[in-house]
Chain A
Amino acid sequence: MNLAINLIQALLLIAIAPLVSGVIARMKARIQNRHGASLWRPYADLLKLFRKQDLIPNTASVLFRFAPTILFAATAAAAAFVPMLHPAALFGVSGDIILLVYLLAIGRFFLMLGAMDGGSSFGGLGASREALVSALAEAPLLLALISVAILSHTVSLSGIVLTTVQQGPLHLSAVYAFALGALVLIAIAETGRIPVDNPSTHLELTMIHEAMVLEYSGPSLALIEWASAIKLTLIMAMLAGIFAPWGMATSASIAALLLAPLALIFKLTVLAVSIAVIESSIAKLRIYLIPDFLGMASALAILAVAFTALMR
């Protein structure tokens, strides 16, 4: 029974990921006074790309062909770690935050290599900038997650969620506040949103993620786009699960099982709208101001860890 729900949960995350990015795009368009594309547009894009040819550059090697597959597999496996409907996930009990962070790193590494295999300078540009962002974002991400793990006395994501659910919403503590601040900044960096990276830019000199996928087309590009949507949804679900998990089904009653998806939709919508608002109101940072941005996240994460001991 548990296994079935966890499997459904993981598949659900993979399935609704394009919808989430569609909602964000629609919200941005509305804020910018445009009508915006349909919410289901990303699905249509994926279908279109899957039917097209896969163009391979003549200099590319076998790694170029396999990088999107490995990226998608690693990100989808990471999706099985995140509790959405109830405080447990497919790998939830023994899977933990460290494994989750490093699984996402697999995808990033292979995407960087695939970019360099294209043989053009844009791939190297994207890869070197992505190396900059990911090198500096890894420490604050891990530290922030470790701080909430220390509070919950467990390293598994579902254990953290369960502890927060049982504590109740009035139990605000400094650790959660600082960890939330750090994780919001890191989430923006990891998912490549403004102010770190513009996901809808057409100017190569401003690209980080887009420059890495310039050479990809057809099903490979579909896999990459889908994987980045999964990563975005995964991180949003993780934030919602760690900091506002109330509404998840803690018992097997019908009421709880009906409430859980509604609560999830509500939380994801709130997060999507906030991302859209942030993206429409701030300008993108210069590349060499990104270390500054990530430094602020590091300071907040260090404070979060320090406060786990100070406010015992």
Chain B
Amino acid sequence: MMQIAFNSFLAALLMIPAITLLCRRDSRVRALPSWLLLLTLLAGTIVAGFSFWRGGRLALDLSWVTPFPFALTVDRLSAFFLLLICVVGAPVVLFSTAYVERHYSPTKADWLWVLLPLFLLSMVLVVIASTAFAFLFGWELMTLFSAALILIDGDSERRRHNIFIYLMMMHASAAAVIASFFLFLPNASTLDFTSMRAAVAAMPMGLRSAIFLMSFVGFGTKAGIVPFHLWLPKAHPIAPSPVSALMSAVMLKTAIYGFVRFTFDFLGGGPAWWGYLVLLAGAVTGLLGILYALTEHDMKRLLAYSSVENIGIIYLGLGAALVLMANNSPAWATAALVAALLHALNHSLFKSLLFLGAGAISEATHTVDIEFMGGLLKRMKITGIVFLIGCCSIIGLPLLNGFVSEWVILRAFIAGSELTSLSCAILLPLMAGVLALIGGIAVAVFAKLYGVAFLGRPRSLQAEEATEVATAMQVAMALLAASCVIIGILPGIVLNPLTALASDLMHTAALPEAALSIAHTLPWVAVCIAVLIIVIAGFRRITRITATWACGLPALNGRMQYSSAAFSKPLRTVFSRVYEADRTVDVHYAQQPYFAKSITYRSVRTTSFEKSLYRPAVDMIVSLATRLRKLQTGNMQVYLLYIFLALVALLLWMRFA
């Protein structure tokens, strides 16, 4: 029965675009495709949940329609990521039902409802594919559909430039992924996952390392590892809010799925240097991501950089798993993998919540620049509260889901101190310090975001006149917030099946008892804190509303508060070597030198990677191409000469080989 549900789930995703096109004329059934999509995603959740919690396998083979082998299988790992897609996709679609009709003209809304199910279908294809062709098909479609969805919001010069960079880098990542698949070719000619898994045993170490490096680069670019993260803050902020939510929350996780599938399932782990590379990438990505987020006051760019940071944390967990596995500590390696996968799920939940919140705010205030917001919590209560839950989750405060995954990663790092290799025994606990530093800066970043946008006085007229958004949008965000709280207090719900998943993948027996002890403590702590809050709040207090003390001055306005740049200044000064700020001060004098008419201060933070890494690489490629162009002379005799030379070379090679 689940098989039928699975097949119909896929068929529905394929047919909803057609339904959109059919229903667009009639205003009574215009809402039909969106609700159908919601129902489809709920069905998908049930299918995925069945496979994830009960461990059932589902399969679908479509090779008879396609020229290359095209088979789909849902094993536990695929089910986890399918569950992630559907559980995040459903609230996002619910949000879009209200958001899209307010923001877009009917034509653009139609385009969105045609492309959105196809985008979701492509991501589903990636995680349930069991042949290389199906995987790559879905992979490329993901890029195309997301780029098309970004274009819905407009195609100005700057937007086209950003989309171009996005497509280019995704193409490069696809090339690396294709290469890593093709490296299996001599040993597994049909390129389906079962034969690939079996073929690894016969491969030499060098070939396995090559596959690992190719997949690391390919999936890393898609996930947003520094220095391949350049496209993330360019592409995510310019998309429509629901699409940004899906891209940041779900699309990045397909890259994590690919990396886990390659490294842990096919290759089955490797030497310790793989783990060191992944740890280094994770640490640098996490630190740089959150440091760049500190300087942003465009809400969506800040959230995009914070996604980079969380991908770094996931890679820290994966690196710990690889190092522990290479050092004969399989139980703790499994725990680290569980933590990384759990963090992927948690991040998709709270990041989609935050992006939807950004969409709601941009609808209410018509801006995404937090320097023009303020006092929104008083005016948008529900949005404010669920956004607060999202911020607390992303920081990793206890009783919310972010804390659980960070706790398990920290436990795995501490367990690394018991390894016999001296450098590992020192390195892994120090990585816990790096994770703590990342978390500490994240607290500052999100205190800044929430404090400047939602609290205090409004800094502009639009913020003052903001009102609460539509009910569907509130419900969608509240659902995501509720899931964050539930996983935060009762993490066993997700931890137990994840443990089974990871144990299957890494062929270990069981996790050490200490690895998941947090699941027993958190409910008690939650009860304790709840009791304390109820007791304290129950006391009757006399309150009086007054004006804020302003040192005797008549009135305070919003501009007198701390702005986002002011809040982040102390930390920015400490880390000033990371940013290369370009500062200019322009003064126009009414009368030199004392009476200034206007003073303009500009501080632009340049992305050093663009200057020092990408520009030289691009210049080198372009100069190489220019030199190669000389081969194309246009002269017929020269082309005949080329063919002649090739013939001669072939004869000589035949003779001597």
Contacts and interface: CB of A to CB of B under 8 A. Distances in A.
The answer to whether A and B touch in the complex, with CB atoms under 8 Å apart, is yes
A257 interface: no
B278 to A, nearest CB: 21
A2 interface: no
Given A63-B377, A135-B441, A113 B455 contact: yes
A107 B643 CA distance: 76
A66 B455 CA distance: 13
Interface string B8-38: 0000000000000000000000000000000
A91 B526 CA distance: 12
Contacts of B448: 128, 131
Interface stretch (B87-95, B296-304, B561-569, B624-632): B561-569
Given A73-B529, A309-B417, A59 B456 contact: yes
Given A57-B547, A72-B536, A142 B436 contact: yes
B525 A99 contact: yes
Contact of A128 (B417, B545, B562): B562
Interface string A216-252: 0011000100000000000000000000000000000
B599 interface: no
B222 to A, nearest CB: 30
Contacts, number: 243
A218 B545 CA distance: 13
Contact of B429 (A108, A147, A298): A147
Given A106-B397, A135-B441, A143-B432, A56 B525 contact: no
Contacts of B237: none
Contacts of A147: 429
Given A59-B456, A119-B548, A80 B528 contact: yes
Interface string B471-484: 00000000000000
B570 A129 contact: yes
B103 interface: no
Contacts of B426: 305-306, 309-310
Interface string A150-171: 1001010000000000000000
A47 interface: no
Contacts of A302: 430, 433
Interface residues of A, number: 81
Instruction: Categorize the interface residue count of chain B.
Output: 35 or more
A223 B532 CA distance: 12
A135 B441 CA distance: 5
Interface in B532-560: 532-533, 536-537, 539, 541-550, 556, 560
Contacts of B434: 139
Contacts of A219: 539, 541
B111 interface: no
Interface in A98-142: 98-99, 102-103, 105-106, 108-109, 112-113, 116-121, 123-125, 127-129, 131-132, 134-142
Contacts of B537: 66, 69
Interface stretch (B40-48, B512-520, B583-591): B512-520
Contacts of B560: 120-121
Nearest to A107: B397
Interface string B390-417: 0010011110000100010011001001
Nearest to B528: A77
Interface in B434-465: 434, 436-437, 439-441, 443-444, 447-448, 450-452, 454-457
A19 interface: no
A296 interface: no
A218 B540 CA distance: 12
A138 B439 CA distance: 8
A105 B569 CA distance: 21
A124 B451 contact: yes
Given A120-B561, A127-B562, A149-B414, A61 B447 contact: no
A234 B549 CA distance: 33
B651 interface: no
B497 to A, nearest CB: 22
Contacts of B454: 61
B650 interface: no
B447 A132 contact: no
A59 B547 CA distance: 8
Given A61-B377, A94-B517, A116-B452, A102 B397 contact: yes
B422 interface: yes
B204 to A, nearest CB: 33
Contacts of A45: none
B541 A77 contact: no
A58 B536 contact: no
B562 A77 contact: no
Contacts of B375: 59, 61, 119
A76 interface: yes
B524 interface: yes
A33 interface: no
A249 to B, nearest CB: 24
Contact of A131 (B384, B528, B544, B567): B567
Nearest to B557: A119
Contact of B430 (A108, A117, A287, A305): A305
Given A73-B536, A131-B448, A105 B456 contact: no
A278 to B, nearest CB: 24
Contacts of A66: 537
B521 A94 contact: yes
Nearest to A295: B574
Given A72-B536, A116-B451, A124-B566, A291 B574 contact: yes
B378 interface: yes
A119 B377 contact: no
Given A59-B548, A99-B525, A112-B447, A119 B570 contact: no
A215 B549 contact: yes
B62 interface: no
Contact of B573 (A54, A96, A131, A288): A288
B544 A139 contact: no
B621 interface: no
Given A94-B521, A119-B457, A142-B433, A125 B388 contact: no
A61 B443 CA distance: 21
B161 interface: no
Interface string A260-302: 0000000000000000000000000001100100000010011
16 contacts: A56-B543, A61-B454, A61-B455, A96-B517, A118-B548, A119-B457, A119-B556, A121-B560, A121-B562, A127-B451, A142-B410, A143-B429, A150-B418, A215-B549, A288-B573, A308-B429
Given A105-B397, A116-B562, A128-B562, 7 more contacts: A58-B546, A61-B377, A103-B398, A113-B450, A132-B444, A138-B443, A150-B414
Listed from nearest, the 10 A-B pairs whose CB atoms lie closest are A124-B562, A116-B451, A138-B440, A131-B444, A135-B440, A73-B532, A132-B570, A309-B425, A61-B377, A117-B455
Interface of A: 53-59, 61-66, 69-70, 72-74, 76-77, 80, 91, 94-96, 98-99, 102-103, 105-106, 108-109, 112-113, 116-121, 123-125, 127-129, 131-132, 134-143, 146-147, 149-150, 153, 155, 214-215, 218-219, 223, 287-288, 291, 298, 301-302, 305-306, 308-310
